[in-house]
Structure 1
Amino acid sequence: MTPAETQALTLDARDALAPFRDEFLIPRHTDGSEQAYFCGNSLGLQPRATRQALLDELDDWRDLAVEAHFRGKHPWMPYHELVRENLAAVVGALPHEVVAMNSLTANLHLMMVSFYRPTRERNAILIEKSAFPSDHHAVASQIRFHGHDPATAKIELEGDEPGGAISSDAIVRALDEHGERIALVLLPGVQYLSGQAFDLRAITTAAHAKGCVVGFDLAHAVGNLPLQLHDSGCDFAVWCSYKYLNSGPGAVAGCFVHERHAQADLPRFAGWWGHDPSTRFEMGPQFTATAGADGWQLSNPPILALAPLRVSLELFRRAGMAALREKSIALTGYFESLIRSELAEVIEISTPRESERRGCQLSLRVRGPREAGRSLYDHLHANGIVVDWREPDVIRAAPTPLYNRRIDCLRFVNSVTQWATARR
């Protein structure tokens, strides 16, 4: 065993959160060994308890049928309320400010129906140029729906720092230049390509000062960073649950609406399940919104999709976001240090160096021709190290504190060294 391996294993043995790894199913490589899985930023691993949680709901369906809405092990009628407290804790919200529902982009559209209210003078949406394509599609389609032109009403922030990060000054400059015509600021919590984390409170304060509504796409931030959505003052936020929240492919997503809008008479696309529960079953045609985020629900909760989320959020409750963040800073810092000391001639890191400006993810570019990056990606996968590739030239690797270890990071570095040596 090398000194580096001894050090990594020693540090892993001291990790108070190490037992949580045993609560996940770690995929196996073709040789039977455990993968080094760095893809929690794309699809989180399956908690061991998920299978039984799904079987429990199937058993209630089998044994109770419709009566499971009221008499099941976890009654279906109020099922979405079973995840409310833990979800609120993960995102730093009041319980009535959050709801698990739909998918991320569906929720984004529902939020923009209420919060993007363009006028002739103020109709623009500020978005980052490298935003995930779905956000661009949603924004452009909403602008067109309201009769405006995305060519002029979609304002794109470009990265102004090495690696593509966006400085706070760049955001302020954009607000100073365009604030009078910006109806909505829509930025990420963590940028999917670069891994940069944004200061939600600072952005909200600056944008509100210009009269803009503020929303955040937290797809890569939820379960990754401690979020303080309520205290940030943002108007709304949306996220998915299949990445760091480990709730399975296509998992039910989530939504935050600040409590100052809890009973606001906002336009919305309404559905029966968003109706005030005290009169919902009177079956009247007049819509009366439930106060809080629940009022944006359309349909009854998808039980088989909520069960995995309930399981995962219980793990977050037990671990605590503060402890997970502490480990994340240490683990990602260890990973970064290894890469910079052992692979500086092979890989550059485009994610900001400051821990407060990033979460778990490091975005990596291979020095040399573009095909070298894809070659390394293929080599890593062939050796049981799972990362992901994003065009045009980015390898994303996310050491996730619930189940990753320092020995996984060392395995990554050793495999890259092997690849680089073979190419010389």
Structure 2
Amino acid sequence: MKKILAVLLFALPLWAGNLLEIIALAQSAKLESLKEFNKNEYINKNKSNKLNLSLDGRYTFVPDELKGGYMTKAGSITAKVEYLIFDGGASEAADKILDHKGVEKIYKDEELMNLTAFQVAKIYFNAVALNSLINLETKFVDSFAKAAAENDFWFEYGEIDKSEFDAINFTLNKKRAELDELGLKLAELNSRINLLSNGEIGFNAGSKIVMPDFSKDDISAKLGAMEQEKYIKEQENEKQKSKFAPKIYLKDTQSVNNNSFKKGERTTSQMAEAYADANKPRVEFEWKLPDSLSLSKQSQTKRIEEQKAALDLSDEENRIIARLKDLRGVIEGLSARLNLDSLKQDSLDSDFNDLLNGYLSGKVKFEQFLFVSEKNFSDRANFVLNGDLLELNKLEYFFECARNINEVVIE
């Protein structure tokens, strides 16, 4: 374990990575999922088609007994034009569903990318805090090791009693065990970072999250996806209702065959009138009457889905507003505490050095040394942990607001 910890402590200052770089690597494996959306091709692929055109040609061939081969016995070309004039709003609802489903999918993919950044950033800040705690714990281990070495000499000559000798060694062993545990946790976080980033990279402990501007009304952009989902449910309900509405078509069929323009005894005017009469456009009315029980069940289901989407949106909005309020209180409290505690850190370091020297010189009793050193360590460790909590809460605040995490990182 000592060898592993030594490698970690030696490697940390050499790591060239930073938070934005780690996030970019972690997101790179998922960037493919956004390519189709950047082109916006999916929006126009399946829109409802109101105009249908068709062209059909038919020929019948029979053997030519005189010349050999085949001759055309009869042929015709038919062109059909069909345009949906009115369908009760079904096609319009379908088009809206497609458009908004595309937007909803973009929201969800962006949310997935931001979730990846959020997860990586949490690991990063925890690793930064662990590194600081390891440095602090290492200093205390070295100090207690120095005190224990001095006690070995004085205990051998009977200058200190066994209770003092055991107390210092017990504290030293406890500090070493804590240091080993911190080292293992840091190694685990480092492996997770490398797994998420799909490469071997460490972290540069200089990244921070900007302080939120609480004067702005930050309502979550994540609600955008839920807004789209609610709108889709409404349009699907409209589409379902219009499914059984009457439909009106304008249809035109133009058919030409090898007898179409044979005059016979007809004048040219009579021939043209006969053709136009046979091929004139017509308006068709279509109305499929539904089974009333089936329609009632379908309508009920759609209404329930629509109401659920509206309730989910309202609940999520209330949850986000409440969570942002809580996070603001925590952030402001931690920020104020850290501003005060930061002024004490240098004095805490010098106080511990004076305490250690006082104990080694015999001016400070071991009971006082143990009590004050533990309080000193606790105050300094809490400063590190509160700093970590501040960054994590700022990070969560921006994540709840659906802000792009990359845009709120300070290197």
TM range (shorter): under 0.3
Q: TM-score, normalised by structure 2?
A: 0.20
Q: TM-score, normalised by structure 1?
A: 0.19
Higher relative contact order (CA 8 A, sep 6+): 2
Q: Normalized per residue, which structure has more helix?
A: 2
Say which one has the larger Rg: 2
